[in-house]
Structure 1
Amino acid sequence: MGYGFKLVYERFRKQSLPNFEGKPDPMVVEEWLKSIEAIFDHMELDDRQRVFCAAHLLKMDAKIWWDVVKKTRDLNTMTWANFIQVFNKKYYSATILETKVDEFVTLMQGNLFDIEYAQNVYRLARFTPEIVPTEAMKVQSFVRGLQPMIARDVKMTSVEVVSYAEILDKALGVEYLDVMTQLF
């Protein structure tokens, strides 16, 4: 590794990026990849530099996985796209994504406040583009999982809801009124 590469690595380390420990949660995986790719783009790193820097952020189970990968791949010719492909095969497996789809399909508000439930719907919806390909379908999924009384009131006050933000606003209003009614 040349002096120039060491300087790139030192600049990269100063970015205080999160390590990736290998937890098979697609949301953690996605957030980690997005955060490091933003820095890679900002620093204008080439493929080899990206792979090298990303590898240094792998810890615990992810580090063990990477040690195995290094034995089976030529890291000198590995592109960033190759790294992403190998990484996704391990951490974005079909089984893991299927679990997130199942979570979305069975998601119910339960004891969560509307805003917490809405955050869960929004987070999980990105793993289900075939189930909620449109804004209207996201609205339907959100209302379906609401507590029955809130869903009823939201439907009664919603002649035509255009967006997810509007339905969330209506649900928050209904929930607020319910809480205030119980207090007084």
Structure 2
Amino acid sequence: MREVIDEEAGKAIENSLSGFIDKIQNTILSVVEERIKKLEDNTNVAKEKSGGRKPCSYKEFMACKPAIYNGEVDPIICQRWLSDMEGVFERTHCDTDDYVAYGTGQLRGQAKDWWDNKKKEIRVEAAKAMTWDEFKTPFLKHHSPKAVINKIKEEFMQLRHKGESIDKITGIFMDKMKFYDELITNEEQKIYYYYNMLSAEYRKFMTPTKYETLTEITNVAREREIELKKQIERGERRAQIVNLSPMKKARTTESSKKQEGKSGSSNCKICGKGHKGECRFKDKPCPICGKTGHTAALCPGKVSVCYKCSQEI
């Protein structure tokens, strides 16, 4: 009887252990499958972020030679650095989680001092978890203050072409225009402000309503600049000094006074020379602007261009 009981008990234990082992195996398999699925999902998300490519390493990021920022409190330099940095992020398929770490690695001088102080202020862990947009908010507040931006806006409204090359004045115009997004919202307005910024000898050969884009009117301005230089080379125009330095102005004034003392009379307002009687150029139109009351040498619309290199002074 005991042998029968032991045998039955053994069978019951064996069946019970078998079921328990199966249950443990199923639980383990379920956990493993769940973890594998999670890893696959994370991999897919990373691929989506990088456009199907593996996120770049810091070495690959630095291979693109990202720009350095030294902490200039200048909205133009500051925002250009941000734009350049975001361009590198895009080209290298950087993981968004690495934007702040990689980007702040390019800070130097006062900019690095600011970031080191900011990390202490918000704690290191918070700095590591910071997104790029969260970084840009305090960064711009410090390096691109509203007072400086307002000054740039004023300079933009007062910007005038005074003898600089078209490429130079266009670059200045474009840099300052970025801060007037609320005012200049379309190409027509860009053309309007660009046209009014140009000097008279450019505007009189241009009709702003003919152009559809800012690029078109800047190209026409370049063509006009080339033609003016050719006129000087052919001797049809003379180079005029524009924007004299204080020292040169003083010398010019002194020279005029000496000339006035020698001639015994003041210089003529029409031709600029010392003579008696009525000026013979009084009723003659200026060959540059077509108006009377001055000669070509004193025309306010003249541009200073070097006779040797044909570059504007």
- State whether TM-score is above 0.5: yes
The within-5 A match list for 1:11-160 is 11-41=60-90, 42-47=92-97, 49-73=98-122, 74-155=126-207, 160=210
Equivalent residue letter for 2:159? L
State the alpha-carbon separation in 1 of the partners of residues 231 and 222 from structure 2.
Answer: 14
C-alpha distance after superposition, 1:146-183 (max 9, x if no partner): 1112212223xx66222222222222232222222222
3-state SS in 2 of match to 1:32: helix
Higher RCO, Cα 8 Å, sep 6+: 1
2:222 pairs, out of 153, 157, 172, with 172
TM-score, length basis structure 2:
0.51
Aligned-residue offset at 1:92: 2.3
State the alpha-carbon separation in 1 of the partners of residues 206 and 187 from structure 2.
Answer: 17
1:10 pairs, out of 56, 59, 82, with 59
TM-score, length basis structure 1:
0.83
Equivalent residue letter for 1:58? L
3-state SS in 1 of match to 2:162: coil
Q: 1:88 to 1:35 in 2, by over 3 A?
A: same
Number of equivalent positions: 175
Equivalent residue letter for 1:131? L
Equivalent residue letter for 1:26? P
C-alpha distance after superposition, 1:25-69 (max 9, x if no partner): 22222222122223333333233x222222221110101111110
Name whichever of 94-103 and 139-148 sits farther off: 94-103
Equivalent residue letter for 2:220? K
**Runs of 5+ consecutive residues of structure 2 not aligned to the other structure:** 1-55, 235-313
3-state SS in 2 of match to 1:90: helix
State the alpha-carbon separation in 2 of the partners of residues 83 and 29 from structure 1.
Answer: 13
Does the 8 Å contact 1:132/1:138 carry over to 2?
yes
C-alpha distance after superposition, 1:50-98 (max 9, x if no partner): 2222222111010111111011112233222211112111122212221
State the alpha-carbon separation in 2 of the partners of residues 159 and 99 from structure 1.
Answer: 30
Name whichever of 162-171 and 58-67 sits farther off: 162-171
Equivalent residue letter for 1:173? E
State the alpha-carbon separation in 2 of the partners of residues 78 and 58 from structure 1.
Answer: 16
State the alpha-carbon separation in 2 of the partners of residues 92 and 177 from structure 1.
Answer: 40
State the alpha-carbon separation in 1 of the partners of residues 188 and 198 from structure 2.
Answer: 16
Does the 8 Å contact 1:154/1:174 carry over to 2?
no
Equivalent residue letter for 2:181? P
Largest Rg, 1 or 2 = 2
**Runs of 5+ consecutive residues of structure 1 not aligned to the other structure:** 1-6
What's the Cα RMSD here?
A: 2.1
- The structure with more helix, counted as a fraction of residues: 1
Name whichever of 162-171 and 20-29 sits farther off: 162-171
Does the 8 Å contact 1:104/1:125 carry over to 2?
yes
Partner of residue 3, structure 1: none
